[in-house]
Structure 1
Amino acid sequence: MGTESVWCAFFVSLLLFAITECVTPFLNNYLDASARNSLNAVFLSAIESDQLSAIHHGLAGLELAGIPIDANKNQVLCGRVKKVNNKELVQLYHALSAANVLKDCALSVPNARETVEAVLKQDPIISQNLYFALAVASYLKLKVDYDSFSKALTSALAKDDGVMSLAYGLNAATFLDIKTAEKFSVRIEDLIGQADEVDGRFLVLEGGLSITAFGVHGIYSLADKLNKSPNVKSDEAVKLANYLLSRRNVQSYRDAHLLLLTLKKFASNSFQIPVVFSLASEMSIDTSKPLVIRVSNVLGESVGPLSVTLDTATHTASKEVVASRKALKQLASDKTSTLYEMSIENAKQRGFYKIVFTAGSQDKRVVGTNGASLMVKVMTKVRIENVTLAVFDRELVKPSSPISVKEGSKLGKILEADVHSKMEIRFKITEARTGETIVVHQTFVAFVHQVTHQEIIFVATPDANRGYVFDVDFEKVAKDFEGLSGRYTVRLIVGDAAISYAFDWNLVDVNLRLPSLPSQKIKKSERVVYEKLPEIKHTFREPEKRPPQTVSNTFVFLCAFPLLIVLILWLRIGINFGNLPASPFVLVFHGGLIGIFGLYFVFWIRLTMFETLKYLSLVGAVTFFSGNRLLRILAAKRK
């Protein structure tokens, strides 16, 4: 029973090891010349801005890229930087960061200590402001109370342990002395623990590129300061680097600066340097030419002496392993010490191959060296052989006398065909090197009208012996030709992702006679009209003719007659104006009523319905509000 347990544990361990090997992350991209040029363009654009933050990140990025600043531009930027408000901490940080890059641009900040120490009195204290304050003190070489800042940073991280707070906190800790900063190294694990894994290949912090890059920079900067390995696994370091490199074409100046800053830290820290395996030769290769790969750091630079080994080279379609455990040679003519070459003569099958590499190094900092894979495509040259064609009566099963055509040549005579004819083309596609008959991805026969250039394309299909047969019955496909007679050029088109070059062979000319198709009436809904349609203009219904003025005046008098009777009765009975409350709402309400009736009168004479409704909504709202207030006053007075 004990032996069985041992064997069971052994196989479980072996299985876990195999699974680990399968999912080991690796890098295939580095910051190449194209990405560098893209970042440099972002930096050059940023220094043209009037914002201090843009100038800071642009100048810092150019310094990292090794691009000097023109003397005149240096003077102009220095003038902008010196206009900073010294009492604003963030602006002061950006100004000092920019001035640190510029030549002869020292800033005078008389109240800097007050600005820096004011952060300790804030409530709440946040790690972001502590980072800015310590960075300003570092630029100005101010001596600060490390214990006070350490306590403040501890308090800030205790209240907020989110990714942004931790990223700024770790970077802030790099400005403290070693003894004080050491206690913040435990926060590295907290930050990495909040990273999200994407597709098994990337690790990214919430907040995207800027926070991820800044957090990683803080991790390795603090580790270098303490000379203590960060609590980051090799796979995690590779996944973080993979995410950063996936964003190498970013166009935001802040993201671009932090990306380049962190990639440089990944390439030159004391503990973990991810290795990149990338193709230096074309992805499409020939078996006669060697495959060249680049093994470098994330900046494309050498990581020192390596022993690079090809583990396996596997044909993806057939799963055939064509090479294994083969050492690569360093390219003698390479001055960067990053290029290695190998040949894969046994890759006889065309198509895609997955090549897995391992690199060995004496440098313990190098990570991501196992299980790195690259995809290459082995190309082959092909020939089209045994080409025959014939036009014959459609009642026959096969042609009696097919015509042979040499590869690349065109048949010297013009063939005649009509709806009583069939056309047949037979051919084989073989590999030029081995002579093996193969099936390719694309084989077409195209009929091109020599006058209208109309194309009708058919697919040629292989038979059981891998020979291609194309036959067409012109009576059945006359509709595809739209009844267009005339001379057609017949082209044979052959293409495949794994052949060196495609064929577009002008095979023969055919004089084709087809009956005209009857004209079909196209439905209006299916008709395609390319001419400009008339503009659709909406018009209201024409107003009805107004009645004679006598009728209108009579109608107005009849409408006003009841109001006249009311006024007469009021005069006879008497109006108790003393009962009206002394409130402005009385005047507003009655004025609103008069306005409404007056608006009706104007509507009768001049206004349209829509204009009247617009004015009525304003007057009616005022009348409603004032009437409501008036009724409240009257009700209160009665009580």
Structure 2
Amino acid sequence: MCPDVKFSASLVLEMAKGTLLVVLFALTVVGQALTPSTYFTTVDKERLRTIFLSAEPYQPDNLQALHYSVLGLDLLGAGHVEPSKSCKVVQKGVDSDNVESLFYASSAARSLGSAHCKLSVGSQAKSVLEAAIVDGAPTRTIYQAVAALANLGLPIDAKKVSSALLDTLKVEDSPLSHGYAFYAASYLKGDLKTFFDLIEDVIAQADEIDEKFLQFESGLYTTAIVLDSSYKLAAAHKKEPTVLADKVTQFANYMLNRKHMDSLKNAATILSAIKTLTENKFHVPIAVTLASQVSVSDQYPTVQVRVSDLLGGSLGKVTVTADTARHIGDDAIVMSKKPFKASSLDSALYELDFLEAKPACGFYAITVSISPQTKDSRLIGTSGAEVRVKVTTKVAIENVELGVADKDQTTAPRMTRLQPPHKVVRTLEADHLQRIIMKFQLRNTAADSLMAAHQTFVRLTNQKTRREIIFVAEVDSSNTYTFDLDVGSREKEFGYLSGQYTMELIVGDAVIQNPLSWIFADVNLKFSDTLQSAPDRLDGYKAKPEIKHTFRVADKRPSTFISNVFTVMVLLPLLLLLVMWMKIGVNVSNFPLSLSAIGFHVGVAAIFGLYYLYWVQLNMFETLRYLGLIGIPTFLCGNRLLSSIAAKRLEVSRRGPKPGSYRVCCSVKANQ
């Protein structure tokens, strides 16, 4: 170890932050075992308490929020500051003619405790609740009615409730509907096997995610309702639900993964389900979490794990064993069947001196198993739990050599041996025909062996402009690093800015305790003169000239003679038509003198005139604009003209033609 090398906190943030975040993400997500690796901590419970208290001050017209608030506080065991005051709000807001209002009010009064809140409702409340329990009624309504009857101490007709639930489930077969049905059935006495047998079918509808989570399509609320109601129904039926232990753990993982919700309704529902999983008589998932920091070093050699239920409660005396400790890189087993020691600070904490196995630096997965000293068949997840840690070390830089060599290697490089953290006294000189060479090694001081770091850079900073450029130092099979800078081929990266540069070595890694930043030399770089005089054109941040769009240059027109000849050829058929009309004679007496006829012919003439202007002067866009203005009235007039001609023809055909006349406009006279 080299104690004089400068430690840099900013270095960790600047160079190793990205890698460290990725590694920590891998530690918490990738490859974890099925056993829950988190629980409701003290911080989580305080956050939930804040959510439940946020519903205050309670309002009589919002008994739903009051219900979930006092329910959540009751589940947390936090109690309520002013239960009598809350009870008055319940009494004021309850509507004895509404099933939902009776449910929320009676549930809130029950959570507040009979000592603080005795709810009085009208005599019609029983009739209203019993009337809601009918065939075809939603299972949610039936559940609320049954729960309200139970909360108020009123009798429940089990046969009627069972019939209504089974009839509704024939139509409403969603998991949430079954969850409400399970809740309602848990209040009944007698044979509950019909509903109990449905638990397995409903659980089978859940979707598995990444082989670790299990959820229903509707989301967190439905998942918590189904799981909570299934175990409440199983408790009423006094029989273990037909749910595999792995599926229970997957449901628990899903809800714990969503424990940071901020919805009042979801918070109370998920907390109720989690508490059921910690207190039921059939399945109690174990949470194995890493209680110590991820890094294991000489200063912190102990790995601590917390073994608890999902609410952080102690499981009593248990034996915790590290079955294996596996290096993630090469799968080497460094420890097996090593027992943890119970902590004197907390009955749920267990400790292990991980450095006793003398592990190499790197990342390790520790597989943990739990064996209760008093047999408890409820506990699930007692084997296969996994926590991940990393063993860190300190490094020292040694065997550092620095020199300048010719690019063509005609002469051997002049190498200088350096002693960290000292800097080279003289300034190095290098031009575009030379190379800067540096060699060094990193030593793991704990294992006294050479090692390679994940991030090893050489940074050159222009002392005048503070512009910097970073290069990667390459490592070979013998763990020797080499930095070889060909000055001439890297001119563009430096922006052709000759001058004095500071050279700095940066070393960082997730398993290195002392990331290093060492300024080891100054170097005067001289780039080629031909490009040095024009650095502005290489500045990638300088504003570029504005780009202006130009239309394509028009093609060169033909000569005037050719244009005139072409024009005469185009007009020649028209001239021939006029000559023929003059020779045989033209009858224009039938030309209708109407606005539509005149407008149509004027419009056609204007369109031909527009075509001529397009040929000699206008561009396409201007022509289309004018054509739109002319074409619309021409179309309307033409349509009107043709309609009038057709009408006139129909009228003439009915009366018969006049002798010696033609019904066609502009027709030619017959020779007499």
TM-score under structure 2 length normalisation: 0.71
User: Is the counterpart of residue 146 in structure 1 residue 162 in structure 2?
Assistant: no
How many Å apart are 1:349 and its aligned residue? 2.1
User: Is the counterpart of residue 224 in structure 1 residue 235 in structure 2?
Assistant: yes
Q: Deviations over 1:589-618 (max 9, x none)?
A: xxxxxxxxxxxxxxxxxxxx99xx9xxxxx
Distance 1:344 1:108, change over 3 A: same
Q: Which residue, out of 512, 534, 554, partners 1:518? A: 534
Q: Deviations over 1:412-442 (max 9, x none)?
A: 3332333233211110011102221112211
Counterpart contact for 2:58–2:86, Cα < 8 Å: no
Structure 2 residue aligned with 1:266: 277
What is the one-letter code of the residue matched to 1:28?
S
Counterpart contact for 1:357–1:371, Cα < 8 Å: yes
Distance 1:261 1:393, change over 3 A: same
Structure 2 residue aligned with 1:313: 325
Q: Which residue, out of 77, 80, 97, partners 2:107? A: 97
Counterpart contact for 1:302–1:338, Cα < 8 Å: no
Distance 1:358 1:457, change over 3 A: same
Q: Deviations over 1:431-463 (max 9, x none)?
A: 102221112211110001223221101111012
What are the residue-to-residue correspondences of 1:565-580 with 2, within 5 Å? Answer: none
Structure 1 residue aligned with 2:68: 57
Q: Which residue, out of 172, 179, 189, partners 2:200? A: 189
How many Å apart are 1:360 and its aligned residue? 1.2
Number of equivalences: 516
Structure 2 residue aligned with 1:88: 98
How many Å apart are 1:42 and its aligned residue? 2.6
How many Å apart are 1:347 and its aligned residue? 4.6
Counterpart contact for 1:347–1:378, Cα < 8 Å: no
User: Is the counterpart of residue 32 in structure 1 residue 45 in structure 2?
Assistant: no
Q: Which residue, out of 140, 144, 148, partners 1:136? A: 148
Alpha carbon RMSD of aligned pairs, Å? 3.3
How many Å apart are 1:100 and its aligned residue? 3.3
Counterpart contact for 2:304–2:351, Cα < 8 Å: yes
User: Is the counterpart of residue 202 in structure 1 residue 220 in structure 2?
Assistant: no
Which has the higher mean CA deviation after the structures are superposed, 471-480 or 182-191? 182-191
Structure 1 residue aligned with 2:476: 463
Distance 1:48 1:293, change over 3 A: same
Structure 2 residue aligned with 1:421: 434
Distance 1:398 1:242, change over 3 A: farther
Distance in 2 between residues matched to 1:24 and 1:386, nearest whole Å:
44
Task: Give the SS at the match of 1:355.
Answer: strand
Distance in 2 between residues matched to 1:27 and 1:173, nearest whole Å:
30
User: Is the counterpart of residue 431 in structure 1 residue 444 in structure 2?
Assistant: yes
Counterpart contact for 1:307–1:360, Cα < 8 Å: yes
What is the one-letter code of the residue matched to 1:499?
I
Q: Deviations over 1:269-315 (max 9, x none)?
A: 11111011110111121266121111111112111221111111111
Counterpart contact for 2:339–2:352, Cα < 8 Å: no
Distance in 2 between residues matched to 1:441 and 1:520, nearest whole Å:
36
Counterpart contact for 1:329–1:342, Cα < 8 Å: no
Counterpart contact for 1:285–1:379, Cα < 8 Å: yes
Distance in 1 between residues matched to 2:368 and 2:170, nearest whole Å:
44
Structure 2 residue aligned with 1:125: 137
Structure with more relative contact order (C-alpha pairs < 8 Å, separation 6 or more): 2
Task: Give the SS at the match of 1:385.
Answer: strand
Counterpart contact for 2:187–2:236, Cα < 8 Å: no
Structure 1 residue aligned with 2:178: 166
How many Å apart are 1:151 and its aligned residue? 2.3
Distance in 2 between residues matched to 1:476 and 1:112, nearest whole Å:
90
Distance 1:527 1:158, change over 3 A: same
User: Is the counterpart of residue 450 in structure 1 residue 463 in structure 2?
Assistant: yes
Distance 1:80 1:273, change over 3 A: closer
Counterpart contact for 1:323–1:344, Cα < 8 Å: no
Counterpart contact for 2:207–2:214, Cα < 8 Å: yes
Counterpart contact for 1:330–1:341, Cα < 8 Å: no
How many Å apart are 1:341 and its aligned residue? 2.8
Distance in 2 between residues matched to 1:429 and 1:352, nearest whole Å:
19
Which has the higher mean CA deviation after the structures are superposed, 237-246 or 447-456? 447-456
Task: Give the SS at the match of 2:195.
Answer: helix
How many Å apart are 1:372 and its aligned residue? 1.4
Counterpart contact for 1:295–1:340, Cα < 8 Å: no
Counterpart contact for 1:352–1:375, Cα < 8 Å: yes
Counterpart contact for 1:147–1:180, Cα < 8 Å: no
Gaps of 5+ in 2: 1-30, 548-592, 596-627, 633-672
How many Å apart are 1:161 and its aligned residue? 3.1
Task: Give the SS at the match of 1:437.
Answer: strand
Distance 1:528 1:255, change over 3 A: farther
Distance 1:293 1:76, change over 3 A: closer
User: Is the counterpart of residue 369 in structure 1 residue 382 in structure 2?
Assistant: yes
Distance in 1 between residues matched to 2:33 and 2:484, nearest whole Å:
52
Distance in 2 between residues matched to 1:528 and 1:183, nearest whole Å:
78
Distance in 2 between residues matched to 1:251 and 1:277, nearest whole Å:
25
What is the one-letter code of the residue matched to 1:518?
A
Which has the higher mean CA deviation after the structures are superposed, 77-86 or 301-310? 77-86
Distance in 2 between residues matched to 1:105 and 1:348, nearest whole Å:
61
Q: Deviations over 1:532-560 (max 9, x none)?
A: x9xxxxxxxxxxxxxxxxxxxxxxxxxxx
Counterpart contact for 2:443–2:450, Cα < 8 Å: yes
Distance 1:223 1:337, change over 3 A: same
How many Å apart are 1:77 and its aligned residue? 7.7
What are the residue-to-residue correspondences of 1:464-613 with 2, within 5 Å? Answer: 464-514=477-527, 515=529, 516=532, 518-519=534-535
Structure 2 residue aligned with 1:578: none
Gaps of 5+ in 1: 1-21, 534-560, 564-608, 614-639
Q: Deviations over 1:388-407 (max 9, x none)?
A: 21234434367544222222
Distance in 1 between residues matched to 2:91 and 2:542, nearest whole Å:
62
Q: Which residue, out of 239, 246, 249, partners 1:238? A: 249
Which has the higher mean CA deviation after the structures are superposed, 316-325 or 84-93? 84-93
Counterpart contact for 1:356–1:373, Cα < 8 Å: yes
- Residue identity over aligned pairs, in percent, reads 33
How many Å apart are 1:134 and its aligned residue? 1.1
Distance in 2 between residues matched to 1:203 and 1:500, nearest whole Å:
39
Counterpart contact for 2:457–2:506, Cα < 8 Å: yes
Distance in 1 between residues matched to 2:121 and 2:139, nearest whole Å:
23
Distance in 2 between residues matched to 1:530 and 1:502, nearest whole Å:
41
Structure 2 residue aligned with 1:255: 266
What is the one-letter code of the residue matched to 1:42?
I
How many Å apart are 1:49 and its aligned residue? 7.3
Distance in 2 between residues matched to 1:140 and 1:511, nearest whole Å:
90
Distance in 1 between residues matched to 2:442 and 2:411, nearest whole Å:
22
How many Å apart are 1:184 and its aligned residue? 2.3
How many Å apart are 1:185 and its aligned residue? 1.7
**Structure of greater Rg:** 2
Distance in 1 between residues matched to 2:483 and 2:158, nearest whole Å:
85
Structure 2 residue aligned with 1:277: 288
How many Å apart are 1:80 and its aligned residue? 6.5
Task: Give the SS at the match of 1:363.
Answer: coil
Distance 1:77 1:416, change over 3 A: farther
Structure 2 residue aligned with 1:391: 404
How many Å apart are 1:344 and its aligned residue? 4.2
Q: List 4+ stretches of structure 1 deviating above 6 A.
A: none
